[in-house]
Structure 1
Amino acid sequence: MHSTGLRETKKAATRLALASAVLRLATRDGIDRVTIDTVAAEAGVSVRTFHNYFSGKEDALVFFAAALFDSIVDRIESQPLDESFWSAVRSALVDVATSPDLGKPAEFVTLLRLLDSEPIVAAHSQHVDLIGQIDARVEALFTQRGQDGNELYPHLVLHNAIATTRVALEFWVARAQGDDVNDPDKVRTVLDAALDQVQAGMAQPISRPMISRPKEL
């Protein structure tokens, strides 16, 4: 059983490494230029090994998206139950977006754009019902907090927080200079500013100059 556990752990690590390689290359070169050969070389495995795990690069990207969401859910579940759902979701998203071992800001931006705009990636996402899986997990999380998971509120919280995080990351990636773009502290500052604004409401801008002039960080 111990050997089986190690084997499964190694397979899971290989699957994630391959998916991460696809996303890195798509971010650097564009999804159209990514080939299975280059992905296999990037991950240090054979092309055959890639096909043992994924049907293609789009399949790998959707897997990475699902794994990323699992990381977010795990972090939400680790928050105290008496903490507001908004605070739990916010903390989880910021933590994931600033964790270098999960990916870089530009890679997250690329992934979200591809899920929206790349037809084959979107088709794979629909095939596995990624949004449906996310909504089901959100309802379960809210129910764990003694609330009605069928309410609109938890879905508004999660999807608004994700959208805000995406806009903030896109804003930052487009404007940051040099190594600043991947600096976890600076990324966190921008995300906190964006989420503070949503939390305060959109009627008036809050006084957070770093969100309008990120180059000065």
Structure 2
Amino acid sequence: MSQAAIRLCVLHGWADVTIDQIAAEADVSVRTFRNYFTGKAEAIAASHLERMLRVADGLLARPVGEALWDSLLHAVLGQFVPPDNSTPQNERWREGVRLMLAEPALAGEIVKVNAAAQQELAKAVARRTGTDAERDVYPKLVAVVVAAGSAAAVEHSLRADEPLPLGALLAQVFEQLAAGLPVP
């Protein structure tokens, strides 16, 4: 349902997509849609939450001896970059995503799911680093930085005049994070 909402909103515009259309696209009833989501924004944000939860799982699946920032990069790349490392679909799709992400209702839902995603990622970082997600600030800080860095790369990719490969941008972000964000 979440992917159907994203696809329709990107292709047709936020205002021109109804819950009835999303339910039909997802091959579910409107009642089923409403059992899971209160509206379009919540449905779309759910996809982001699921992706970030998979990042946390991906971090825990990485080799134990691998450096934390390398593990985080691989976990993020596994969720944000298509397996063929292709650039965004086309200019119409990129513009549709930009417009969709600019919707105030969606921005509010993204803030909500980011908070939940960061808690789960902090737990994974804590397990990975032997710290405590409740008492230590480090896992929380890493989770916030990963979320913000990933969002910055996505936004930069979408707003670039020419399509930029998201994988390369994410690698650049994580390289700078691992180095302590030195002044360029």
Same structural fold, with TM-score higher than 0.5 when normalized by the shorter chain: yes
Offset of 1:124 from its aligned partner?
Answer: 8.7
Matched, 1:87 2:66: no
Q: Tell me how far 1:79 sits from its aligned partner.
A: 1.0
- Separation in 2, partners of 1:64, 1:189: 23
Counterpart mapping for 1:27-176 below 5 A? 27-99=10-82, 106=94, 113=101, 118-119=104-105, 122=108, 126=112, 130-145=113-128, 146-149=130-133, 150-175=135-160
Question: How many residues are matched?
Answer: 174
CA shift, 1:112, in A, is: 9.6
Report the secondary structure of 1:42's partner residue: helix
Which runs of no fewer than 5 residues in structure 2 stay unpaired? 89-93
The one-character-per-residue Cα deviations of 1:120-173 (angstroms, maximum 9, x if unpaired) are 7626964xxx45533432343233232232322222222222222222222222
Q: Could you tell me whether the CA contact under 8 Å between 1:36 and 1:56 is conserved in 2?
A: yes
Which structure's CA Rg is the greater one?
Answer: 1
SS class of match (2:148): helix
TM value normalised by structure 2:
0.72
| Paired residue type of 2:173 | A
SS state at 2:82 partner: coil
The farther-off stretch of 137-146 and 188-197 is: 137-146
Relative CO higher for 1 or 2, CA cutoff 8 Å, sep ≥ 6? Answer: 2
| TM-score computed with the length of structure 1 as normaliser | 0.63
Asked if the contact 1:62/1:124 (under 8 Å) is kept, the reply is: yes
RMSD between superposed Cα atoms in Å: 3.4
Query: How high is the sequence identity, in percent, across the aligned residues?
Result: 28
Q: Which amino acid aligns with 2:151?
A: R
State the AA in 2 paired with 1:64.
S
Report which stretch shifted further, 139-148 or 88-97.
Answer: 139-148
